[in-house]
């Protein structure tokens, strides 16, 4: 296709309507947004049409450029402080972004429920002990893979990666009982919310949007309704 053509690559006609539910302020007042998220997450887990309710888009931004990057990750834990995911904290693009800007966002989309949740927050790093507790629950191949992959670094070809897997398989062995230690460069990050927005699709795209927001992580949340 010529760069000068005005032909659209994608044209999405208006054919999808949001009719599954609604959201009301009186149902949210005095709610803990983390507990409300847990309720919505359980609804997603129980819906057979949602195959991976824990999948979420994690976005980070690098300073001073302000360049934003996003990727799908899996939510592994929700605790009283926030949302936990695990990653390579040494070479990954997200790790490099967070070193310059310790803030991130998450976006969950559960299409069959016509629900979305957005989270914006500050980053905390889990302790090595906390990271190891989760790391040891992973399949052995995944633990070895964490050692073998210099995540986001340029590699020559697939064979280079396979050779590294073979190297660490030899180092740690194939005995399922023998532990694989958590790498020093691998661990968990917790997104402590500054804002959690709950979005319920509405007819004629007049969606219900409510945001729990606060200025800092030691403050109380304010509940506000947002225009769709």
Q: How many CA atoms lie within 13 A of 115 on its CB side?
A: 22
Please give the torsion angle defined by the CA atoms of residues 105, 109, 113 and 117, in that order, rounded to the nearest 10 degrees.
10
H-state helical runs in 76-117:
93-100
Task: Indicate if 205 belongs to the active site.
Answer: yes
CB environment 25-36: b (16+ within 10 A), e (fewer)? eeebeebebbeb
Spatial separation of the C-alpha atoms in residues 178 and 47, rounded to whole Å: 37
Q: Is the distance from CB of 154 to CB of 79 less than 8 angstroms?
A: no
Name the active-site residue from 20, 205, 209, 213. 205
Residue with tokens 């968990």: 188
Residue numbers annotated as active site: 205
């Amino acid at each position: 296709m010529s760069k000068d053509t005005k032909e659209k690559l994608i044209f999405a006609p208006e054919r999808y309507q949001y009719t599954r539910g609604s959201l009301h302020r009186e149902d949210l007042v005095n709610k803990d947004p983390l507990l409300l998220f847990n309720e919505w997450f359980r609804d997603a887990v129980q819906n057979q049409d949602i195959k991976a309710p824990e999948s979420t888009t994690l976005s980070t931004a690098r300073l001073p450029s302000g360049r934003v990057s996003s990727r799908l990750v899996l939510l592994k834990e929700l605790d009283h402080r926030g949302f936990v995911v695990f990653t390579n904290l040494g070479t990954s693009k997200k790790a490099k972004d967070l070193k310059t800007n310790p803030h991130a966002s998450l976006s969950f989309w559960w299409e069959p429920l016509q629900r979305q949740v957005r989270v914006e927050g500050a980053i905390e790093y889990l302790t090595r002990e906390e990271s190891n507790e989760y790391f040891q629950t992973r399949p052995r191949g995944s633990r070895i893979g964490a050692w073998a992959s210099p995540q986001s670094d340029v590699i020559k070809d697939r064979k280079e990666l396979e050779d590294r897997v073979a190297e660490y398989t030899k180092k740690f062995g194939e005995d399922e009982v023998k532990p694989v230690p958590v790498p020093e460069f691998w661990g968990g990050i917790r997104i402590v919310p500054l804002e959690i927005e709950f979005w319920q699709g509405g007819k004629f795209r007049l969606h219900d949007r409510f945001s729990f927001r606060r200025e800092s992580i030691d403050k109380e949340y304010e509940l506000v309704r947002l225009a769709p």
